[in-house]
Amino acid sequence: DKEVRAIFLRLFAQLFQGYRSCLQLIRIHAEPVIHFHKAAFLGQRGLIENDFLTKVLNGMAFAGFVSERGPPFRTCDLFDELVAFEVERIKAEEGNPPKMIKHVRELAEQLFKNENPNPHIAFQKVPRPTEGSHLRVHILPFPRINESRVQELLQEGLARSQGATPATRGDKKCVVPAGPPVGMFICS
């Protein structure tokens, strides 16, 4: 699963390399608007006639990508690092499948570590039922619910949540690295 995701991560990093140099921040409105200059992106990469990339850039998913990843100051992730710093490595690996596979495995490992930051926590396996367990009758009746106790617990939870400070996320925001300019990536 992680290796397939790493392959797509690399693919989109290659596809959108240099996209940050074609972002325009428009500050006319109270809330800044980020615009992607598609013609400049396609022209500088020599892909004006590329029907596939043109359709990708015109899609709603790419518009969401630009609005989410366009701000110059936000939390950075693995994709930002790939687009900004791994350009030459990805380009060099195009003709060398073993190096490409090694890089995919490294990315998959990073994705795994991002999703499982505490490797010492082990998941318990559910034991298989013993033979003949389905024949035993050991069904206990469901206990009756005490309505007044449920209401007390709900009130206690509400009181605690109203007095608690809102939880904040620990992600640090930083200036998103721009990476190399689009003109470097002239594709065939």
Mean per-residue pLDDT for 120-145? 73
pTM of the complete model: 0.60
* pLDDT grade for 188, boundaries at 50, 70 and 90: very low
Q: Dig out the tokens for 52 from the structure.
A: 């596939």
Give the number of residues written for the chain. Answer: 188
Structure confidence at residue 124 (pLDDT): 64
SS3 24: strand
Q: Mean pLDDT throughout 94-107?
A: 88
The pair of structure tokens assigned to 69 is 């990843």
**What percent of the chain is predicted at pLDDT more than 90?**
9
Residue-wise pLDDT for 21-44, tens only, equals 888 888 887 777 888 888 888 888
Provide the sign of the torsion angle of the four alpha carbons 8, 49, 35, 181, taken in this order. Answer: positive
Angle at 173 between CA 169 and CA 178, to 5 degrees: 145
- % of the chain beyond a pLDDT of 70: 86
- Interval 78-82 mean pLDDT: 84
Residue type, 58: N
pLDDT band per the 50, 70, 90 thresholds, residue 75: confident
